[in-house]
Amino acid sequence: MGGYPRNYLRVPDDRIGHVTPQDVAQAVKAHRIFFTTGPFVRMRAGQADIGDLVATPGGHARLDIEVDAAPWVSVDRVILYVNGKEARRWSVPPSQKVERFRASYEITLATDGYALVRVDGNELLAPVVGDRTTFGVYPMALTNPIFFDVNHNGRYDPSLKHGARH
């Protein structure tokens, strides 16, 4: 069965008939995308959304994370990564409610950086997606980053140049 995971993007007006090819192209170029096999995740820093660059005075930022899911989708953990390293992991209690997780988390960065969120579930999505023997799909979602401008030059300056390794 094809089509999983799916990519979702944030456009100015997502009503049917109002999304234009230009809206889609702009959202992709602006990194306003997350992929998922079921859970819907949103991360914000103030008014900034995934893909945005945030001026970060003193390197301090507050992230607000939300996860929603259909009743048959398990959500067991939410993981926040800051600059590619796990910063915080939350366990999510079992539920069939749509609203699964809400949290705020303060980060402090010494230099420009980024944050992203991963969501995982432990229960297969079968029979809605796949089956329990030949094709299993687990709930997972991953956001693109929010970028933080700590040095106030109006752009994200990665700590390593493209292709460099530690």
User: Which residues neighbour 144 within 8 Å (Cβ) at sequence distance 6 or greater?
Assistant: 31, 32, 33, 34, 50, 51, 116
Sketch the domain layout of the chain as residue ranges: 6-149
* Average pLDDT of the residues in 68-94: 97
Residue 142, pLDDT score:
98
Is the model's pLDDT at 135 over the cut of 90? no
Residue 165, pLDDT score:
66
Question: Among 2.60.40.10, 3.90.1150.10, 3.40.47.10, 3.40.190.100, what is the CATH number of 6-149?
Answer: 2.60.40.10
